[in-house]
Amino acid sequence: MIQITSVRHNWPNQPGFCLNRPQGHQDYTFVHFTTSVELYLSGSKIAVPEHACIIYKPQTPQHFLCPHGMIHDWFHFTGVSERMFSELDLPTDILLTPKGWSFIADTVEEMENEFYAKREYHGELIEAKIKELFIKLSRSVKSKYPETVKESFTSELRQLRTEISQNLSHDWTVAEMASKLMLSQSRFAHLYHAFYGTTPIEDLIRMRIIAAQNALAFTQSSIYEISESLGYRNVTHFCRQFRKIVELTPSQYRRNCKLKGDSHL
């Protein structure tokens, strides 16, 4: 049975963070770099683009540097054979650049929630999620189809999304987002969904909840303070959205984080 031994979604590291494991890790390691980093692989330095991935085999040296800070999804896992990767035509110890990536963050987040909540059949569900992730990753890496959003426009979308993520307390509307790119609301919503695989408002909510998860795990701020800092006028509404996405209340999530003190890559 495939099992994860540690997992984190949207995990932040400070500027200058360096991971250097000359002997690798005892388990398989999956890393999704949502921000660019400097990766050292087989003696070569590689500039990793946003949303690239790698599956490290046990004992493979792991070394990367993030001069400007980074955010990434990762998990360690056991119980898998090289045969599975071979059947999926998914190489290990090689940088992978999927055409799409939103499914990676979503799946790792679901795995993290199951891992810490320990609900009934969580092990079986996590195993299914890992297989689902690698099947989708294989499809995405091998996809011959171009992105549906023109490359010339993707930088504008990314800049807007960065602005939104850095101002989560702002009362964002689709109308305001669209106006920043001089598009109609319907056209903007269509392009946003084509590129990110979700609606602008759903993405905004998810970003707020991710920020709330980090605040609950790493600060002593009250749930009300966190809610207010993320633009929620009603803490009850915040708690409902948090539970809908995380499947735990904010209090339960904070309590689980405190019980798991070794949560680092």
User: At residue 148, does pLDDT exceed 70?
Assistant: no
**Residue 38 contacts residue 67 (beta carbons within 8 Å):** yes
Reported residue count of the chain is 265
What does the DSSP assignment read for 2-18? -EEEEEEEEEEE-TTEE
Condensed to tens digits (0 to 9), the pLDDT of residues 84-126 reads 999 999 999 999 988 778 789 889 999 999 999 999 999 999 9
User: At residue 145, does pLDDT exceed 50?
Assistant: no
**Residue 51 contacts residue 98 (beta carbons within 8 Å):** yes
Q: Write the DSSP symbol of residue 67.
A: T
Condensed to tens digits (0 to 9), the pLDDT of residues 56-73 reads 999 999 999 988 888 899
Supply the pTM of this predicted model.
Answer: 0.60
List of domains in the chain: 3-142 (2.60.120.280), 151-259 (1.10.10.60)
Predicted confidence band of residue 25 (pLDDT cuts 50, 70, 90): very high
Angle at 104 between CA 91 and CA 5, to 5 degrees: 75
